[in-house]
Amino acid sequence: MKRNKLFFIIFCITLIMQLSIVNSYAQVKNMTEIENFINEQMNEGKIPGMSVVIVQNDKTILKKGFGYADLQSNKKVTSDTLFELGSNSKAFTALGVLKLEQDGLININEPITKYIPWLIMKYNDKEVQITIEQFLHHTSGVPSSTIVNIPVSNDRDAIEKTVRTLIGIELTSNPGDNFQYATINYDVLGLLIEQVTGKKYEDYIKENVLTPIGLRNTYMYKDKIKNDNMAKGYKLGFAKPRYYKAPQYSGNKPAGYIISNAEDMAKWLKIQMNALETSSFDSKLIKNSHMPNSSIQPFGDGLTYADGWFINNRSEIFHSGSNPNYSSYIIFKPQEKIGVAVLCNIKSCYTSEIAKGIFNMVQGKDSNIDVIAFIKIIDKISIIIISIAAIIIILTIFFLIRMLKQISIRKRCFQLNNKKNIFKVITLSILYIIISCILYFIPYFLFNQSTWQYIFVWYPVSVKAAIYSIYICISIIFLTILLKNIFKKIN
């Protein structure tokens, strides 16, 4: 009898070990598929470097760097490599605001003008009150196009300078009526923190959010990063990633310029899903930040906005982040305790699709990648424009040189002595001015009231070259036609 029991115990142990080996093999196989998927999509999206985190319950099942933090020196991305988070910074700012309310320093249902009296905005030419909560939920009515007006600044009062660009603007809807994502809403919240606490926004978030949560690798100031772990930022240009040193928008930091790495993103995900007990930060505030705004109807794919997070009808909580030369995507499902974070050193729509694909694969689903590579399309169009413009410029220069030669040897002479010629010159000049104005205002009408300065910062490097080549092309053609009408051939 004892012998049979012993055999049974040995059999059970052997079976458990076999199942464990099979399960481990399945996990390894799944991770291999995920890593292959990441590498394929990075190659397709021309992404220089990427850091990926996958969390399940309180375990980090993948925390790895892919590609390069610096293409020139071939420095590879690791889990320590730092990236700008883009709009994933908003969740930190939201927690800072909720902490202020918990401490009794503010009431989010009160108008922002109670704390920032000079921030007056209008709807239908009438002054309106916007609550703190409406800024948190992007229902303030502030237009999304206000991103264009964010000033380049690294001054101590950069956040205030940014918020002051909103004074007297006309809102697109009555506050609280509609959702309209405007990144500057969270810069207003950053200034609110400074006005209420008397501290710098960066210092308050570090002391009251980052340190209690235990995020030691998340930085509020780029110049305070002591080691060389910051990934270089890139932009697509002429079908390849190119190093790009973006302007400093410190006034937009509450909405988009906090810096972190995979190490801290793993912990951040666990905190969000209440799967980590080592944090001293109040978990109630985390839970409250996930409460969707129920004051307006869901939009898109059953989407609602909470405090720094989108929530869809599948109870997935997520947010994307894009800066001129970095991008990120964070997605998690608190009920199932599964989360994914992806950080990149280039602005790319592939970042979010890779994160979603990984998230699906972890759950045993197909990756379901559906990328509309808008940036790549713009880059290709720009290359075509440059090529066509270059051909036209070369041909026009050839005719211009020949004409100048004819003028120099007196085969052409100055003839602006009749009304017909004068009328032609004036008409050409007016046409040139009109075309120049159209080129100048194209971003305003086609790209949500943008400016060329904004386009050159946020879009591929090739766009700037394309616009300059178009203008040079038009100018040379105009000059050639003008000279042809002023200097007539002598028969």
- pLDDT bin (cut points 50, 70, 90) of residue 489 is confident
Query: Strand ranges (DSSP E) for 367-439?
Result: 412-414
| pTM, 2 dp | 0.90
The CATH number of the domain holding residue 198 is: 3.40.710.10
Cα 260 to Cα 88: distance, rounded to the nearest angstrom: 10
- pLDDT score of 89: 98
**Mean pLDDT in residue range 4-16:** 50
- pLDDT score of 389: 97
- pLDDT score of 24: 37
Same domain, 358 and 383: no
- pLDDT score of 22: 34
Number of separate domains in the chain: 2
Same domain, 325 and 391: no
Least confident of 56-70, 83-97, 256-270, 475-489: 475-489
Q: Is the pLDDT of residue 367 over 90?
A: no
Longest dimension (CA), the chain: 125
- pLDDT score of 16: 45
| DSSP assignment letter at 111 | B
Answer whether residue 441 is part of any domain. yes
Answer whether residue 184 is part of any domain. yes
Answer whether residue 30 is part of any domain. no
- pLDDT bin (cut points 50, 70, 90) of residue 490 is confident
Radius of gyration of the chain (CA): 29
Answer whether residue 339 is part of any domain. yes
Same domain, 211 and 286: yes
Q: Which residues pair with 317 in a beta bridge?
A: 311, 332
- pLDDT score of 70: 97
Q: Is the pLDDT of residue 87 over 70?
A: yes
Neighbours of 456 (CB within 10 A): 15
Cα 443 to Cα 436: distance, rounded to the nearest angstrom: 13
Same domain, 183 and 114: yes
Residue with tokens 């409406």: 134
Mean pLDDT across the chain, nearest whole number? 91
The 10s digit of each residue's pLDDT in 332-360 is 999 999 999 999 999 999 999 999 999 99
Same domain, 435 and 450: yes
Same domain, 180 and 313: yes
> End-to-end CA distance of the chain, in Å?
125
Amino acid at 440: Y
User: Which phi and psi (to 5°) does residue 20 adopt?
Assistant: -65, -40
Q: Which of 344, 369, 394 is a domain's end point? A: 369
- pLDDT score of 7: 54
**What are 308-315's contacts with CB under 8 Å, separation 24+?**
308/90, 308/91, 308/92, 308/93, 308/94, 308/95, 308/136, 308/186, 309/91, 309/94
Answer whether residue 333 is part of any domain. yes
Q: Which of 341, 369, 397 is a domain's end point? A: 369
pLDDT > 70 fraction of the chain, expressed in percent and rounded:
94
Residues 6+ apart with CB under 8 A from 290: 272, 306, 307, 309, 311, 317, 334
Same domain, 50 and 70: yes
Answer whether residue 4 is part of any domain. no
Number of H helices, E strands in the chain: 15, 16
Same domain, 307 and 393: no
**Mean pLDDT in residue range 154-174:** 96
The 10s digit of each residue's pLDDT in 176-206 is 999 999 999 999 999 999 999 999 999 999 9
Same domain, 365 and 386: no
Cα 272 to Cα 275: distance, rounded to the nearest angstrom: 8
Same domain, 151 and 231: yes
Answer whether residue 1 is part of any domain. no
Q: Let me know: does 426 contact 216? Beta carbons within 8 Å.
A: no
Cα 18 to Cα 12: distance, rounded to the nearest angstrom: 10
Q: Which of 369, 397, 413 is a domain's end point? A: 369
Residue with tokens 């100055």: 414
Structural domain of 406 = 376-489
The 10s digit of each residue's pLDDT in 225-235 is 877 899 999 99
- pLDDT score of 9: 54
**Mean pLDDT in residue range 200-220:** 96
Neighbours of 438 (CB within 10 A): 10
- pLDDT score of 17: 45
Q: Let me know: does 156 contact 324? Beta carbons within 8 Å.
A: no
- pLDDT score of 279: 74
Residue with tokens 């949500």: 448
Q: Let me know: does 345 contact 69? Beta carbons within 8 Å.
A: yes
- pLDDT score of 14: 47
- pLDDT score of 3: 54
Same domain, 365 and 402: no
Beta strand 121-123 with 310-311: parallel, antiparallel or unpaired? unpaired
Same domain, 68 and 212: yes
Q: Is the pLDDT of residue 137 over 90?
A: yes
Q: Which two tokens stand for residue 197?
A: 């606490």
Answer whether residue 479 is part of any domain. yes
